[in-house]
Amino acid sequence: LIGVAYLYIETNILTAFLSLLTSFLYIMVYTPMKRVSWLNTTVGSIPGALPPLGGWAASTGSLSFEAGILFLILFIWQHPHFYAIAWMFKEDYKRGGFKMLPCIEEDGKRTFKQIMIYSLILIPVSLIPVFIGMSGKFYFFGVLLAGIFLLQSSLIFIRSHSNLDARNLLKTTVYYLPVLLLLIVVDVNF
């Protein structure tokens, strides 16, 4: 709560509210849901994607369509990212009593389907900034290439079902976001 108060004093009420909402959803909704439903990953992706909205609100004092696109990119990105983690550590999650998707199915079919769906959706959604004037051609080609690498990593993992390929998918997702954000900054400034 001290952090929320600080944001209210130093930025604005919208930023403070978004910070409070992020904490509430993470602590009071997502965390308990991990023991109840495999949908916890989708629910947890909401507070995981709210920080760009907070940053936007702190910078501009309001929200915009562009901020919403950043939220959507992070929301979608978290699914292949976290399902790779959940696959690698599914035995640990099972022992902890968590209902992660890879823990509740033996064959992994739904996990792999979710990874593929979100990986496929992430590519066109990540390209929206080009079509709304938020970025240009440099971003377009860079993010398209990053999306192809992500899709390739997803396909390799889905075919192999191996922890090694899950780790490679995880690495690809970890690189994807900084590349995307760096491309936005570079493209806008040059």
Q: Spell out the per-residue pLDDT of the chain, length 190, in tens.
A: 899 999 999 999 999 999 999 999 999 999 999 999 999 999 999 999 999 999 999 999 999 999 999 999 999 999 999 999 999 999 999 999 999 999 999 899 999 999 999 999 999 999 999 999 999 999 999 999 999 999 999 999 999 999 999 999 999 999 999 999 999 999 887 7
**Do 44 and 112 sit in the same domain of this protein?**
no
Residues 80 and 55 both lie in one domain: no
Same domain flag for 91 and 166: yes
Please check whether residues 158 and 86 belong to one and the same domain.
Answer: yes
**pLDDT for residue 164:** 98
Query: Looking at the structure, do residues 47 and 80 belong to the same domain, yes or no?
Result: no
Q: How many domains does the chain have?
A: 2
Residues 89 and 5 in one domain: no
Report whether 157 contacts 168 (CB < 8 A).
yes
Whether 175 and 90 map to the same domain: the answer is yes
**Helices vs. strands in the chain: H and E counts, helices first:** 11, 0
Separation of alpha carbons 107 and 101, rounded Å = 11
Residue 130, CA atoms < 13 Å, CB-side half-sphere? 16
Same domain, yes or no: 35 and 78: no
Domain region containing 13: 1-63
Residue 53 makes CB contacts below 8 A (sequence gap 6+) with 18, 63, 67, 68, 70, 71
Q: Domain for residue 68, yes or no?
A: no
Q: What is the pTM of this model?
A: 0.94
